A and B are shown apart, each in its own frame.
Chain A
Amino acid sequence: MEQEKVKQKVKKVVSEVLKIDQSEIEDDANFIFDLGADSMQSMLLIAAFEDEFDIEMEVEKAQEVQSISGAIEFISTYL
């Protein structure tokens, strides 16, 4: 899948889970520091990414992913 397409899908998921307008999500935004995700929402994000991309991620490593750009890079390894 193209990087750009992955980015759009990641932003869509983040927008839905964190209830933020997609236009407000910067490419290098940190889920916690910039978008205000709490620990529960961080877990929900992992599940939502798996559903959206139809992949199964290694939870421990996925929890280390903290930003939009990090998520794109990490998810790409499964595609």
Chain B
Amino acid sequence: MNKRAHLHKENLQTLFYPKSVAIVGTNKVKGTVPGDIFTNIMKAELNGVVFPVNPREKFIGGVKTYKYVIDVPDDVDLAIIVFPSSVCNRALEQCGQKGIKAVIIISAGFKEIGGKGLEREKELLEIADKYGMSFIGPNCLGVINTDPLSRLNASFAREFPAEGNIAFLSQSGALCTAVLDYALAKKIGFSKFISFGNKADISEIDLMYYLMEDEKTKVILVYLEEISDGPGLMKAARDVMRKSGKPVLILKSGRTSEGASAAASHTGSLAGSDEICDAAFKQAGIIRCDNIEEMFNIAIAFAYQPVPKTNKVAIITNAGGPGVLTTDAAIKQGLQLAKFSEETTHVLKRSLPSTANIKNPVDVIGDARADRYIAAMDAAFKDDDVDGVFVILTPQSMTDIETIAEEIAKAAQASEKPVYTSFMGEADVAAGIRILEQYQIPHYSLPEAMCKPFYTAFSFNKMLQEKVVETVDFTDVNKAKAQSILTDAEKEGRSYLPEYMAAKVIETYKLPVVGNGFATSANQASEIAEGIGFPVVMKVMSDDIIHKFDVGGVVLNVNSKKEAEQVFNEIHSDVNKNMPEAKIDGIHIAQQIPQGTEVILGVKRDPAFGPVIMFGLGGIFVEVFKDVSFRIAPVSKKVAVDMITQIKSSALLQGARGRAVMDIDSIAEAIMRLSQLAVDCPQIKELDINPMIVLEKGKGCFVADTKIII
């Protein structure tokens, strides 16, 4: 943790729980940001004292107003700056002089406008650093803390939300107001609600660490538009998850993949920013959401209910069709229907009418009243194979919706197993849904929508139970040599390394490069070939030739010294004939590898996350199906094995349809070594190992061709 992150940790507690707040630049004009901030903070009944600061007013809202913040006679814990951007620096400087440590800068007109705005933002940081202050913003909606110990509404949002255990952080202020309105309708409460704007000083990472220790917060939701510190975000999410057991859900906008098309390697073209983001989030245990609705669907499952221990659910419904639809969705999502014990079946048979379906999904029949639902729920709660209950209701003429909702809610609250509900329809079921929301029982408009939150909560819990496998660095690598080759290539003005040079780089990290050498004479070629061992492959090396096969530049199955001499001369003569303008540097000679399965390994350097490692099967699997996996380096053995087994075609490596089982351990080791190389050598922009030939289990793998772009 750097110096400012330490400072933020101390100052954020003051920011959320201030005993005195100065609103710097506020005014009397309702309907303006400076005016509404004052109104909001007063309306929320802050647990502390408020000092309006305005150069001209003597009183605002009946509260004594000061010309400058330094004129306030008492100590001030938090300053909220709402002045125009051109004078925020002066306001912040005075806050520093006053000894204020926590500041929220609402004003816009900084980085987001470029030019002068960038300079202004830089100046704010310099002032904050000088006085040991921390600030949220600029260009934000503000901060809300619903904790009765604080009741801080330092924002210009229309409503003060209900108290709850969900924290919401957002880079977009406008989205915050929409989310608040959405949550208000769904009766979702918040612990903290933070719009962090340009995140010039305090970032989402600092806030996540604060919320990790915040007793009022159970779930952390984040809306992000840009990731400026990918590794920092991943570490923070991991720390939050491991140390507090709190899930981090992120909605990241910008799922387009501009930039990928301009890449010069396979890896570069396959690894778009969104694929990398997906991989990074998965690796860090972050739950990525596609939209606000999905985010809150999952959030309420975590916030209101215990996490399921297994993926086995019981479905209780008063209508067959929705029960079947939910069953289909559950199975598709990766859930299982619990198998009821004999005792459960017996209880259900005794409690429900003879026409009811007592197998899972349980149909309590359309005329069911609360007693049947409760009997079925009780039986499911007592069954050891059930780890969660989905309750579905459709409104029939005899359905007592509100009583059923009330009884279900009470039963769910008394249970240690999670209960999710779906009262289908709109108008008739509205009162019942309100009751469920008041009791904080997760409700979903469509029954199928219960499946993803349940599966997400189950997977998260499973991940928490898994042992953490740390990355281990190999000690037999030669970092200095790899860097020296790359530096020399840079000095020569190269943008990419030819195969023989690229092979030398990856050899320094003990990647299994086949025996190879570089010959500039026929005699040298025969000596190198003999040293490697026959058969060998001979390839022309020339910066001018892209498709070596087409110009007669590649010869396979060279079996003797004499043949190597002949082939050396033949390649020269064929290339000279087919492409006379090409300058030949020499001939690359490599051991010819026995037949195996072709895989591709790669590296791409992402601006937000750093080096990214790619794995896939070669040929059509990568070219056509784009069946590849990504992870952010460094990569542990567990992660490397996940990368291999995650791709759809991995069955081909694992002995599908009578094939031999391939040496997955050797691929995992190659991935780990490549990951270490990528971390150690930032000069490498992109790297393709294509193909790497994998042999049967226990026989290893061989790198056949490597391309490095620097």
Interface residues, chain A, CB within 8 Å of chain B? 18, 20, 30, 32-36, 38-39, 66
The reply to whether the CB of B538 lies closer than 8 angstroms to some CB of chain A is no
1/0 per residue, CB under 8 A from A, across B32-65: the answer is 0000000000000000000000111100000000
CA distance A30 to B83 in the complex (A): 12
The residue that B87 contacts in the complex, of A18, A33, A39, with Cβ under 8 A, is A33
CA distance A43 to B90 in the complex (A): 21
CA distance A56 to B479 in the complex (A): 67
Known: A35-B55, A38-B29. 17 other contacts (CB 8 A): A20-B56, A30-B90, A32-B55, A32-B83, A32-B84, A32-B86, A32-B87, A33-B55, A33-B83, A33-B87, A33-B91, A35-B56, A36-B27, A38-B27, A39-B84, A66-B86, A66-B87
Q: In the complex, which residue of chain B has the Cβ closest to the Cβ of A34?
A: B55
Contact B86 A36 (CB under 8 A): no
Q: In the complex, which residue of chain A has the Cβ closest to the Cβ of B67?
A: A34
Contact B57 A36 (CB under 8 A): yes
A-B contact pairs, 27 of them (CB 8 A): A18-B56, A20-B56, A30-B87, A30-B90, A32-B55, A32-B83, A32-B84, A32-B86, A32-B87, A33-B55, A33-B83, A33-B87, A33-B90, A33-B91, A34-B55, A35-B55, A35-B56, A36-B27, A36-B54, A36-B55, A36-B56, A36-B57, A38-B27, A38-B29, A39-B84, A66-B86, A66-B87
Interface residues, chain B, CB within 8 Å of chain A? 27, 29, 54-57, 83-84, 86-87, 90-91
Residues on B with C-beta less than 8 A from A66 are 86-87
Residues on A with C-beta less than 8 A from B27 are 36, 38
CA distance A38 to B57 in the complex (A): 13
User: Which DSSP category, helix, strand, loop or mixed, fits chain B's interface?
Assistant: loop
Please name the 5 residue pairs, one residue from A and one from B, whose CB atoms are nearest each other, closest first. Answer: A36-B56, A36-B55, A33-B87, A32-B87, A33-B90
Interchain nearest-CB distance for B460 vs A (Å):
48
Residues on B with C-beta less than 8 A from A33 are 55, 83, 87, 90-91
CA distance A32 to B67 in the complex (A): 12
CA distance A32 to B86 in the complex (A): 9
CA distance A33 to B55 in the complex (A): 7
User: Which DSSP category, helix, strand, loop or mixed, fits chain A's interface?
Assistant: loop
Interchain nearest-CB distance for A59 vs B (Å):
16
CA distance A9 to B55 in the complex (A): 22
Residues on A with C-beta less than 8 A from B83 are 32-33
Q: In the complex, which residue of chain B has the Cβ closest to the Cβ of A29?
A: B55
CA distance A36 to B90 in the complex (A): 13
Residues on A with C-beta less than 8 A from B90 are 30, 33
Residues on B with C-beta less than 8 A from A34 are 55
Residues on B with C-beta less than 8 A from A32 are 55, 83-84, 86-87
CA distance A35 to B84 in the complex (A): 13
Interchain nearest-CB distance for A12 vs B (Å):
18
Q: In the complex, which residue of chain A has the Cβ closest to the Cβ of B56?
A: A36
CA distance A30 to B84 in the complex (A): 12
Q: In the complex, which residue of chain A has the Cβ closest to the Cβ of B116?
A: A64
Q: In the complex, which residue of chain B has the Cβ closest to the Cβ of A33?
A: B87
CA distance A33 to B54 in the complex (A): 8
Interchain nearest-CB distance for A33 vs B (Å):
4
Q: In the complex, which residue of chain B has the Cβ closest to the Cβ of A63?
A: B86
Interchain nearest-CB distance for B381 vs A (Å):
62
Interchain nearest-CB distance for B28 vs A (Å):
11
CA distance A30 to B94 in the complex (A): 14
Interchain nearest-CB distance for A28 vs B (Å):
12
CA distance A32 to B34 in the complex (A): 13
Residues on A with C-beta less than 8 A from B29 are 38
CA distance A64 to B29 in the complex (A): 24
Q: In the complex, which residue of chain B has the Cβ closest to the Cβ of A32?
A: B87
Interchain nearest-CB distance for B154 vs A (Å):
21
Residues on B with C-beta less than 8 A from A36 are 27, 54-57
**Residue with the highest number of chain A CB atoms closer than 10 Å, among B54, B57, B83, B87:** B87
Q: In the complex, which residue of chain B has the Cβ closest to the Cβ of A42?
A: B84
Residues on B with C-beta less than 8 A from A20 are 56
Residues on B with C-beta less than 8 A from A18 are 56
Q: In the complex, which residue of chain B has the Cβ closest to the Cβ of A39?
A: B84
Interchain nearest-CB distance for B91 vs A (Å):
7
CA distance A38 to B29 in the complex (A): 11
Residues on B with C-beta less than 8 A from A30 are 87, 90
Q: In the complex, which residue of chain B has the Cβ closest to the Cβ of A64?
A: B86
**Residue with the highest number of chain B CB atoms closer than 10 Å, among A18, A36, A66:** A36
Interchain nearest-CB distance for A62 vs B (Å):
13
CA distance A63 to B57 in the complex (A): 24
Interchain nearest-CB distance for A18 vs B (Å):
8
CA distance A38 to B31 in the complex (A): 14
Interchain nearest-CB distance for B398 vs A (Å):
63
CA distance A25 to B57 in the complex (A): 15
CA distance A20 to B55 in the complex (A): 11
Residues on A with C-beta less than 8 A from B86 are 32, 66
Interchain nearest-CB distance for B74 vs A (Å):
22
CA distance A66 to B87 in the complex (A): 9
Q: In the complex, which residue of chain B has the Cβ closest to the Cβ of A38?
A: B27
Q: In the complex, which residue of chain A has the Cβ closest to the Cβ of B87?
A: A33
Residues on B with C-beta less than 8 A from A39 are 84
CA distance A33 to B84 in the complex (A): 9
CA distance A20 to B54 in the complex (A): 14
CA distance A36 to B91 in the complex (A): 13
Interchain nearest-CB distance for A8 vs B (Å):
22
Residues on A with C-beta less than 8 A from B55 are 32-36
Q: In the complex, which residue of chain A has the Cβ closest to the Cβ of B88?
A: A33
Residues on A with C-beta less than 8 A from B84 are 32, 39
CA distance A36 to B65 in the complex (A): 13
Q: In the complex, which residue of chain B has the Cβ closest to the Cβ of A30?
A: B87
**Residue with the highest number of chain A CB atoms closer than 10 Å, among B55, B86, B87:** B55
Residues on B with C-beta less than 8 A from A38 are 27, 29
Q: In the complex, which residue of chain B has the Cβ closest to the Cβ of A20?
A: B56
CA distance A57 to B91 in the complex (A): 29
Interchain nearest-CB distance for B159 vs A (Å):
26
CA distance A66 to B84 in the complex (A): 11
Interchain nearest-CB distance for A46 vs B (Å):
15
**Residue with the highest number of chain B CB atoms closer than 10 Å, among A18, A33, A35, A39:** A33
CA distance A35 to B29 in the complex (A): 16
Residues on A with C-beta less than 8 A from B87 are 30, 32-33, 66
Q: In the complex, which residue of chain A has the Cβ closest to the Cβ of B90?
A: A33
CA distance A39 to B33 in the complex (A): 13
Interchain nearest-CB distance for A25 vs B (Å):
11
Interchain nearest-CB distance for A4 vs B (Å):
25
Interchain nearest-CB distance for B528 vs A (Å):
71
Interchain nearest-CB distance for B337 vs A (Å):
63
CA distance A32 to B91 in the complex (A): 11
CA distance A34 to B57 in the complex (A): 11
Interchain nearest-CB distance for B628 vs A (Å):
52
CA distance A39 to B29 in the complex (A): 13
Residues on B with C-beta less than 8 A from A35 are 55-56
CA distance A2 to B168 in the complex (A): 59
Q: In the complex, which residue of chain A has the Cβ closest to the Cβ of B84?
A: A32
CA distance A34 to B54 in the complex (A): 9
